[in-house]
Structure 1
Amino acid sequence: MELMLDTANLAEIERGLATYPISGVTSNPTIIKAEGGVDFFVHMRKIRELIGESRSLHVQVVSTDCASIMAEAQKIVSLLGPSTFVKIPVTQEGLEAIRILSKKGVNITATAIYTTLQGILAMLSGARYLAVYYNRMLNIDIDAAKVIKELSSLLWANSTSCQVLAASFKNINEITTAYASGASCCTVPYSLLCTGLSMPSITKAVHDFTTNWEEVYGKRTLLDL
């Protein structure tokens, strides 16, 4: 299993790396927009410096025709390193680019996946990750968990190195359901990860433990004993 951060905010990435078992960082044009017109490649290099070479960086193209997608992919790889994953939406033009680039050894994250067929085509075309848009699928009445389960079973059956990367989450239940349905990786906003550890029940449990300890030993910790 893997957990990635779905953000381009440097402060969030730094805090996330300090707390959570993060294996990579994903981004897209919407996430970049939230950073307010930053110098794109300079900003991506700063992210790479923060996460190091051992974690994956996923950077999305913005062109929509095959030739331009491939040109952008080559620029991404040349400026950010060959270990960078190029995110390409699974359209007809995108699928053609995925097939050609993957044969050249470029790491591909196939994105904007809403259907099992899209995932199958991307997998057969050489993609390393299949980015399934969980919440967006639910919003248009697509059974996201079913799609993840179908793709995961196909990946296992074919012994491929491709992985299902669930994305687009709005609550904790969606994340846990995606993992339980077979996603080997989820990419999650930093704020949503924080929400998962800020439940009142967790806070109360820790407070009760502290209170019970202090009733016996006072303000001393284990280091004082």
Structure 2
Amino acid sequence: MYELLLDTANLTDLTEYLIKWPVAGVTSNPSILKKEGNIDVYSQLAKIKKLCGADRSLHVQVVSNTTEAIVEEAHRILDRLGRDVYIKIPVSAAGLPAIKQLADQNINITATAIYSTLQGIMAALSGAKYIAVYYNRMENNCTDPNAVIREIRSFIDGSGSEAKILAASFKNVGQVTAAYASGAQSVTVGVDIIKSGLGMASIDSAVEEFAKDFEAIHGSGQTMETISE
């Protein structure tokens, strides 16, 4: 099953697009939350979780940098926002043991800051539910994200792991579609990228041309609804 998640903390966008688009969840991180200005972080996340409802996932990132502190912070997040929240933890020397410890407690983990196949494999072996591959950042580091996605997906499929690759960090539509094509089951993108993919001039031109041709047949201002009356 393939999924689309939104990478935003903007309540206005989420109120509109969680309904309009086929969205499976919402991801956030401190950088995204910072864009919303001087907010109470937990209050903002609680509002986002309410918008998500019971059918969409919410992914919240820790900021601690030791294993013990990461585990403690994860439990605080769950206590404040609910046990079904996905805790985002970087796959680092400190983060990996925390992922395993929390996953062993049946806590939902989204492993983040993945730039290599080895990180993805270790996160899957440690029990992470999502493997967040940083697509654009990998390209900026002269690493092929599509190859990494394919390799992690091959490991997941071969090992029987239930982890899903959640491709993230995109700058354009082409990167999103390439991530899916390379084997990512999920992607998380900003609202602006989806809007740019749906708002291309060529799409508007095609729609306008179809409308003109229809009016040429049935008259100005006519639609399929009006001609059936």
What TM-score range do you get, normalising by the shorter chain? over 0.9
Q: Which piece of structure 1 moves more, 136-145 or 213-222?
A: 213-222
Distance 1:4 1:191 in 2: 13
Q: Secondary structure at the match of 2:222?
A: coil
- Superposed, 1:1-225 pairs within 5 Å as 1-218=2-219, 219-224=221-226, 225=228
Secondary structure of the corresponding residue to residue 60 of structure 2: strand
Tell me the CA shift for residue 15 of structure 1.
2.0
Per-residue deviation at 1:84?
0.4
User: How far apart are residue 122 of structure 1 and its match?
Assistant: 0.7
Quick one: distance in 2 between partners of 1:141 and 1:32?
A: 28
AA at the equivalent of 1:85? Y
Report sequence identity in percent: 48
Displacement, 1:12? 1.2
One-letter amino acid of the structure 2 residue matched with residue 210 of structure 1: A
Distance in 2 (alpha carbons) for counterparts of 1:98 and 1:18: 32
Partners of 1:145 and 1:10 in 2: CA distance: 32
Q: Distance in 1 between matches of 2:143 and 2:224?
A: 52
CA deviation after TM superposition for structure 1 residue 13, in Å: 1.1
CA distance in 2, matches of 1:189, 1:181: 20
Structure 2: which amino acid aligns with 1:96?
P
What's the CA shift for 1:199? 1.2
Amino acid at match of 1:135: N
How many residue pairs get aligned? The number is: 225
What is the aligned-residue RMSD (CA, Å)? 0.8
Residue segments in structure 2 that go unaligned for 5+ positions in a row? none
SS of the equivalent of 1:92 reads coil
In the alignment, the residues of structure 2 paired with residue 13 and residue 29 of structure 1 have an alpha-carbon distance, to the nearest angstrom, of: 17
Residue aligned with 1:175, SS: helix
Q: Does the residue aligned with 2:94 lie in a helix, a strand or coil?
A: helix
Deviation at 1:201, TM superposition (A): 1.2
TM superposition score normalised by structure 2: 0.96
What is the CA–CA distance in structure 1 between the aligned matches of 2:65 and 2:151, rounded to whole Å?
Answer: 28
SS at match of 1:164: strand
Runs of 4+ in structure 1 over 4 Å off:
none
In 2, the alpha carbon distance for the partners of 1:124 and 1:170 equals 30
- When structure 1 is superposed on structure 2, of 35-44 and 105-114 the one drifting more is 35-44
Q: In the TM superposition, what is the alpha-carbon distance from 1:17 to its structure 2 partner?
A: 1.3
* Secondary structure, aligned partner of 1:87: strand
